Amino acid sequence: MVAEHGTLVRVKVLISNSLVHLELLENKEGNLFLASSIQPEGIVYYGTTPALFCKFWEGRMSLQTLFNETPSHFVEIVTETKTALYNRNDIEIVLVLGEKTFGDLADPDSIEVW
């Protein structure tokens, strides 16, 4: 499962504020992907599974752990100046506020179940 943002369709923006952006996407086969803010600046696109996503959604897993357990061997990183695919085992990717769970990141008044 390779995350290439140009082929993904937005399902839901989960969190978008001045600190972090987290978006749920899918490809034409129905596989789930996430887009997360990374340090220093940019967005990483990576695959996930319903089971992993639910653990994160329920607060049983941090965002960084969710990323670290991705089934994607390759991730796409998009910055203002560059878009590239990377083997995630070749580089260290640190997500913005990655140590937080969904409940820590989301405004409780803005959480809606869809």
**For 5-41, how does the pLDDT look when each residue is reduced to its tens digit (9 = 90+)?**
788 999 999 998 888 899 999 999 999 999 999 987 8
Mean pLDDT throughout 104-109? Answer: 74
Q: What is the mean predicted confidence (pLDDT) over 76-105?
A: 92
Residue count (the chain): 114
Q: Is residue 99 part of a domain?
A: yes
pTM given for the model: 0.88
pLDDT at 52 over 60: yes
Instruction: Find the domain containing 91 and state its range.
Output: 5-103
In this structure, is residue 60 part of a structural domain? yes
The partner residues of 48 in beta bridges, in order of sequence, read 32
78 token code pair: 């998009």
Please check whether residue 110 lies inside any domain of the structure: no
Residue carrying the six token digits 């140009």 = 6
